[in-house]
Homo-oligomer: A and B are copies of this chain.
């Protein structure tokens, strides 16, 4: 699936910024921050444009946002094929990467009487397999 097709499918304008963001996020192994995406992009865009593009892409559910603590924000593709479930996210506190755990489905929590929910965010903090293996080498 090409970035342009994705934009067409969602009936939103093809712009180089949107196209670039999708391409970068599509090929990334991890979720990426604004700056990480910018670095990987060919064009140069104003921060405003970036934020507005993220917002649009998020509203179309082309990408989704993952927030870690209060200052770190990362974006990942919201492919309906791989991300069909509500999935948990993993944050490695060693290498600071964020991953979608597509196979870790979020359970439905039983709420107190009268409470209703429409979304459950699960963020697991720990050490990823790469960082674990790196330790062995040291």
Hey, which bits of chain A sit against chain B, CB under 8 A? Answer: 67, 69-71, 73, 88, 90, 101, 103-104, 107, 109-129, 132-133
Asked if B124 and A117 make an inter-chain contact with CB atoms under 8 angstroms apart, the answer reads: yes
Work out how many copies of this chain go into the complex: 2
Of B88, B113, B115, which one neighbours A90 at CB under 8 angstroms? B115
B126 touches A111 (CB 8 A): yes
Q: Taking chain A's interface residues, is the majority helix, strand, or loop, or is none over half, making it mixed?
A: strand
Q: A104's closest neighbor in chain B, by CB? A: B109
* Residue from B69, B70, B117, B124 within 8 A of A120 (CB atoms): B124
Question: Smallest CB-CB separation from A129: which chain B residue?
Answer: B114
Q: Give A83 Cβ to nearest chain B Cβ, in Å.
A: 16
Q: 8 A–B contact pairs at CB < 8 A?
A: A104-B109, A112-B129, A117-B127, A119-B124, A120-B124, A120-B125, A121-B124, A121-B125
Residue of chain B at shortest CB distance from A72: B70
